[in-house]
Amino acid sequence: MLDLEQRRDPSGLDIRADSKRPILVTGAPRSGSTWVGNVLSLDRDSGYIYEPFNKNCPPGQCRARFHHAFTYVTADNEEYYLDPLRDTLSWKYSHGAEMRRIRTPRDFARMARDLTYFQTMRQRNARVVLKDPLAVFSSDWIASRFDAKVVVVIRHPAAFVASLRAAGWHHVPFEVFRDQPQLMEERLAPFRDRVHQACETPLDGVASGCLLWNMLHYHISLLSREHPDWIFVRHEDLSRDPEQEFRAVFDSLGLDFSPAVENDLKQYTENSGTLGRLSLYHNKRATRRSSRDSITRYRKRLSPDELTDIRRATATMADRFYSAADWEITD
C-alpha cells in the first residue's frame, strides 16, 4: 500500500493523508453549498475558503483570474490556474496581488483580516474546506490535481428556481457556457442548441432557471457515475435531519463530529431569531435558518402554474434525483 504521507502528485502539492486532504464543496449555486461548507468547517482542525473561482474573490486569497463564471479548468488550460490554486490550498496569502488592488482604508483592513486568517490556518496546518459552486465544472481537475475530496450538493429544481428569484437573479448569462467551446463539447453537448438560442433570445426567469438547473445537474449526473467515491448529498435530506446526515458526511470525510460541532450545528439549522455564531473572522453575522422550513419554502415563492412548468421542464433530469413524492412534500 502506498504511503500517502510521502507521495506527491504532478502538481507538486503534497498528497495528504486523508485527515488533511482538501475538501471541495460544490454543486449548483443557490443549493446550500455555503451552509454545507460552513458546517464542515466547524471541525476544529479545518478552515474555510470562500469561492476562489468567483471573479470578486480578493486576489490575496486566490490570485488566479477567472474570466468566466463556471470556468472549465482541465489539463489543457491549467497553466493559468495551477500555481494560484496551489497557494490557496496551502494557505499561502498573495500579498503582492492584494496590494495592487487596495484603494481605501477598508480594503487595507480586509487584507489584514484575510492575511491573519490565512497565516493562522497555515500555522495550524488546517485542513481546507473550499466552498465554490462556480468550480463545479472544474471539480474533476481539483480532485485529481490536489487530491481533494469532493462533496456535491443537489437541490430540488423548484427550490433552486425560487432561490434564484429570491436572490434577484432574473437572467442567466448563458454566454458564459457558449463562450467555452471545450466545456460545451465535453460536458454539455446535449444543450448546445438551447444555449445558443437562449443567448439569442433571453428566456424568462423560470425558463432560464430550469435550463440552468438541467445543465448543471446533467453534469452532476455524469460526475456521480464517473466518481462513485465522491459524496453526493441532497439539500433536502440535510435539512430534514441535519444531525444524522451531517454526521454521516463528517464520517466519510474524516472530520470530527464532536459535541461542540453538534451544538454549533444547531445554530445553523434552528431559526431562533438571533445572531448566529461568531464567523470565521470573529465578527457576528446572521447565519441561522430553520432547515426544515427551507425544504418547502419555494411553494410560497412560486405559483401553482410555475411549479407545473418547472416540473415539466426538468422532469427528465429531476427524475434521476427526486421521486414524484418529492414534489408533493407538505411537511
Which pLDDT tens digit goes with each residue over 62-83?
999 898 899 999 999 999 999 9
Mean pLDDT value across residues 306-316: 96
The answer to whether residue 88 is domain-embedded is: no
Q: Angle at CA 172, nearest 5°, toward 214 and 288?
A: 80
pLDDT at 14: 46
Contact assessment for residue 211 and residue 198, using Cβ atoms and an 8 Å cutoff: yes
Ranking 3-12, 35-44, 128-137 by mean pLDDT, the lowest is 3-12
Contacts 24+ apart (CB under 8 A), 190-197: 190/218, 191/215, 191/218
Residue 185 has which C-alpha cell? Answer: 463539447
Which pLDDT tens digit goes with each residue over 106-146?
999 999 999 999 999 999 999 999 999 999 999 999 999 99
Residue 231, classed as helix, strand or coil, is strand
CA distance 290 to 268: 8
Query: Which pTM was predicted?
Result: 0.89
Place of cell 454521516: 248
Which pLDDT tens digit goes with each residue over 215-255?
999 999 999 999 999 999 999 999 999 999 999 999 999 99
**Helix (H) / strand (E) containing 238:** helix 235-240
Contact assessment for residue 4 and residue 18, using Cβ atoms and an 8 Å cutoff: yes
pLDDT at 331: 45
Residue 272 has pLDDT above 70, yes or no: no
Which pLDDT tens digit goes with each residue over 185-218?
999 999 999 999 999 998 998 999 999 999 999 9
Residue 105 has which C-alpha cell? Answer: 482604508
pLDDT at 81: 96
Residue 330 has pLDDT above 80, yes or no: no
The answer to whether residue 121 is domain-embedded is: no
Cβ atoms within 10 Å of 11's Cβ, excluding its own: 17
Backbone angles phi, psi at 151, to 5 degrees: -115, 125
The answer to whether residue 104 is domain-embedded is: no
Provide the pLDDT confidence category of residue 89 given band limits of 50, 70 and 90.
very high
Q: Give the DSSP per-residue string, 146-208.
A: H--EEEEEE--HHHHHHHHHHTT-----THHHHT-HHHHHHT-GGGHHHHHHHHHS---HHHH
pLDDT at 216: 98
Q: Please compute Rg for the chain using Cα positions.
A: 20
pLDDT at 271: 59
The answer to whether residue 315 is domain-embedded is: yes
Q: What is the CATH number of the domain that holds 189?
A: 3.40.50.300
pLDDT at 291: 61
Compute the mean pLDDT over every residue in the chain, rounded to the nearest whole number. Answer: 88
Beta bridge partners of 150: 24
The answer to whether residue 57 is domain-embedded is: no
Residue 176 has which C-alpha cell? Answer: 458564459
* CB neighbour list of residue 119: distance below 8 Å, 6 or more residues apart: 91, 93
CA distance 199 to 195: 6
The answer to whether residue 81 is domain-embedded is: no
pLDDT at 299: 82
142-165 b/e (C-beta count within 10 Å ≥ 16 → b):
bbebbbbbbbbbbbbbbbbbbbbb
Residue 88 has which C-alpha cell? Answer: 490557496
Cβ atoms within 10 Å of 78's Cβ, excluding its own: 15
Query: What total number of domains does the chain contain?
Result: 1
125 versus 10: which is more confidently predicted?
Answer: 125
pLDDT at 129: 97
Place of cell 411549479: 307
Shortest CA distance to 212 belongs to which of 29, 34, 25, 26?
29
The answer to whether residue 141 is domain-embedded is: yes
Contact assessment for residue 25 and residue 132, using Cβ atoms and an 8 Å cutoff: yes
pLDDT at 280: 46
Beta bridge partners of 25: 131, 151
| Domain boundaries, position 237 | 24-48+130-323
Residue 233, classed as helix, strand or coil, is strand
The answer to whether residue 40 is domain-embedded is: yes
pLDDT at 143: 98
Residue 268, classed as helix, strand or coil, is helix
Cβ atoms within 10 Å of 318's Cβ, excluding its own: 21
Q: Give the DSSP per-residue string, 102-115.
A: --SHHHHHHHHHHH
Residue 152, classed as helix, strand or coil, is strand
